[in-house]
Structure 1
Amino acid sequence: MKSTAVKNDYGFNIYKKMQNARGQTLHNVERFTELIKSIEKHGFCGESNILVDGNMQLIDGSHRLACALYFDAERIPIR
């Protein structure tokens, strides 16, 4: 991912791996960059949890998880 607005590729690389595992091959760099900008401006939404199953496998929230990793968040809310 190449962009002057992006400080690292770590979160996006994780996002691509998660999307590939889910069978989704389209990885929208622009969408991910917009999410990064939104979080920089507004912060993380505390009500948007990442959904996992009983084995802690991701069900929903790959964008939120990738952004949390991008920003090196200490905690990530899950349910």
Structure 2
Amino acid sequence: MDAPAFPARWKVSAPELIAETFSSRIWKVLREDGSPAIVKALKPFDDVADELRGEHYLAWRRGEGAVRLLGRDGHSMLLE
């Protein structure tokens, strides 16, 4: 499967699909500094709002006791 076009501002490369669920595709990527990150790209489905609540929670936590949300774009999240 070809990787989607990730936002240029994320400056990620080398996408590798590592998981697919009913709600999303999970890509391992490299950040500009060479560190690994994850892109979670939500698929269109009936309860996408539930998944987006998780995104809001991660943003609120700011990496304290949860994975850090590094960026978001539509229904895609860049995670540490």
Q: TM-score range by the shorter chain?
A: 0.3 to 0.5
Query: Which structure carries more helix by proportion?
Result: 1
Give the TM-score taking structure 2 as reference length: 0.32
The higher-RCO structure (CA 8 Å, 6+ apart) is 1
Query: Which structure carries more strand by proportion?
Result: 2
Give the TM-score taking structure 1 as reference length: 0.32
